[in-house]
Amino acid sequence: MQEIINALYIIASPIGNLGDLTERAKFIISEVDVIVCEDTRVTSKLLNHIGCKKKLISCNAHNESNKSKYLIELLKGGNSIGYLSDAGTPGISDPGNLLVEQVVEAGFEVIPIPGPSSITTILSICGFNLSKGFYFEGFLPRKDGKLKKLIQTIIVDLKVPLIAFESPYRIKKSLSKIAEFSPTLKCCLGRELTKLHEEIIRGNISEVAAKKITEKGEFVIVLSA
């Protein structure tokens, strides 16, 4: 394994199945001086799983700006820092971007430790043509007009698949609205990816919208012409 240096390590954590944590990530977590995370309760479960006991520092969307200054002082003191969000890769619709920006500006190295991501997980099994790339939206727009414009701009005009997250509270409404706008779009819907109750639902958007869907957990959706 690589030598741990005075730097910030951005560590991808499992999106559900704890067995997906890479050996490199385990090593970095075990060896860095400080572990920083989005939610200490979530990350403590991961550390317990790999038998690692360390004090955790919380750095989330609410305190990232102020906490980044404190963490830079730790780096100036010669410490190595590992950062994990609750699930997946930090900075992808999760905290971490501001921390990285400020650490880089302070002159310290930021090292990626890649691993699980719900985006690449669903894209790898959707079966859609990704040769021209794809567009990641984050969470789908709440307003009908913006949702319709997004579909037109990305899937119809740019001709690339659209991938986005959606909450369990809005998934049925969003699917129905998309089916209303573009009933023939191809859809691949993932719920609770890599977890015990993982579901993959495929079909055109009208078929998927008509299915009985468990409105619990985390959803990621891919749409294509």
Do residues 65 and 18 lie in contact, with contact meaning Cβ atoms separated by under 8 Å? no
Equal CATH topology for 8-113 and 118-224: no
| Residue found under tokens 């049925």 | 172
Mean residue pLDDT of the chain comes to: 94
Q: How far apart are CA 67 and CA 37, in angstroms?
A: 11
The predicted pLDDT at position 60 comes to: 87
pLDDT band at 93 (very low <50, low <70, confident <90, very high): confident
Q: 198-213: per-residue pLDDT in tens?
A: 999 999 999 999 999 9
Secondary structure (DSSP) of 156-181: IIS---EEEEE-TTTHHHHHHHHHHH
| Percent of residues in the chain assigned helix, strand, coil, to nearest 5 | 35, 20, 40
CATH number for the domain running over 118-224: 3.30.950.10
CATH class of the domain at 8-113: alpha beta
Q: 67-92: per-residue pLDDT in tens?
A: 999 999 999 999 999 999 999 999 88
Residue 122 has pLDDT above 90, yes or no: yes
Q: 179-195: per-residue pLDDT in tens?
A: 999 999 999 999 999 99
Query: Exposure of 195 by Cβ count < 10 A (0-12 exposed, 13-18 middle, 19+ buried)?
Result: middle
Q: Which residues pair with 110 in a beta bridge?
A: 8
In the chain, what are the domain boundaries? 8-113, 118-224
Give the C-alpha distances (Å, rounded to integers) separating 63 from 60, 67, 76, 118, 199. 6, 6, 20, 25, 34
pTM above 0.75, yes or no: yes
